[in-house]
Amino acid sequence: MARPVILVTSFGTSFPDSRHITIGAIESAIRESYPDYDVRRAFTAQIIIDHIEKDTGRHIDNFEEAMERAIKDGVKEIIVQPTHLMDGFEYTDIKDALANYESSFEKCALGEPLLASDADQKAVAEAIKAAMEEYEDDSTAICLMGHGTEADSNSIYETMQGVFTDLGYDNYFVATVEAEPTFDDVAEAASKAGYTKAVLRPMMVVAGDHANNDMADEEDPESFASIMKNAGFEVQSVIEGLGQLDAVDDIYVQHVAAAISTL
């Protein structure tokens, strides 16, 4: 009889080192907590799946392939745990796609994204704070870069800014690549607050293309690093994804547990 499955579903990244220590770390944490489950991987970005297969010859299932594989294998119970930060367009796409397969399983549940509750948001802020303490001093702004989205859930970035402030972490500033707050917004806010140095870190599960290029590439005049540098800051970039933080991985484990409890 087929074991129950936890399908960890990620956007994906073509950066192999980051893939292993972020997405891989989340999967490992879930696998250690649920040894009786078969923990599987799916990516939703087909362009990344194709890139990895071309480079390595290794195929990673997209969501539909992973679900069809589970059905073929005779799986009766499946938990889908996305690694997305919030319930934006991509999370909603997974939710909608899962609805098409629910009738094929005896038990089926969807886990929540990372920043689903006030407790999750506080825990993530504290995890980032702990990871960044070595960079902090009175002259340094810690600037976090999220992805940003046109979905209403983009408000999570403003919410997280409020969480940092409420915790007394006034030197933390949140920006996004593709929405608001912008890099310019953070440069202005940090400058007005009197900071002269900036340490940049992605507020993304994976430190991949966005972290290396949109954030850290000082040769790109539109990058976060260039904008902060041009605003007069001494800039340093930390290329680390949230998936590298044990406390963040633990939240995904908790969300799996919550999903299983609904079955």
- For every one of its 263 residues, what pLDDT tens digit does the chain have, with 9 covering 90 and above? 799 999 999 999 988 888 999 999 999 999 999 999 999 999 999 999 999 999 999 999 999 999 999 999 999 999 999 999 999 999 999 999 999 999 999 999 999 999 999 999 999 999 999 999 999 999 999 999 999 998 899 999 999 999 999 999 999 999 999 999 999 999 999 999 999 999 999 999 999 999 999 999 999 999 999 999 999 999 999 999 999 999 999 999 999 999 999 99
Please give the residue range of the domain that contains residue 53: 5-114+244-261
Same-domain status, 124 and 237: yes
Q: Please give the single-letter amino acid code of residue 136.
A: E
Same-domain status, 182 and 216: yes
Supply φ then ψ for residue 219, to 5 degrees. -80, -15
Can you name the residues that pair with 109 across neighbouring β-strands? 79
Same-domain status, 248 and 236: no
Instruction: Supply 120's token pair.
Output: 């999750």
Supply φ then ψ for residue 220, to 5 degrees. -95, 115
Same-domain status, 183 and 254: no
DSSP string computed for 31-84: HHH-TTSEEEEEES-HHHHHHHHHHHS----BHHHHHHHHHHTT--EEEEEE--
Q: What's this model's pTM, rounded to 2 decimal places?
A: 0.96
Same-domain status, 122 and 233: yes
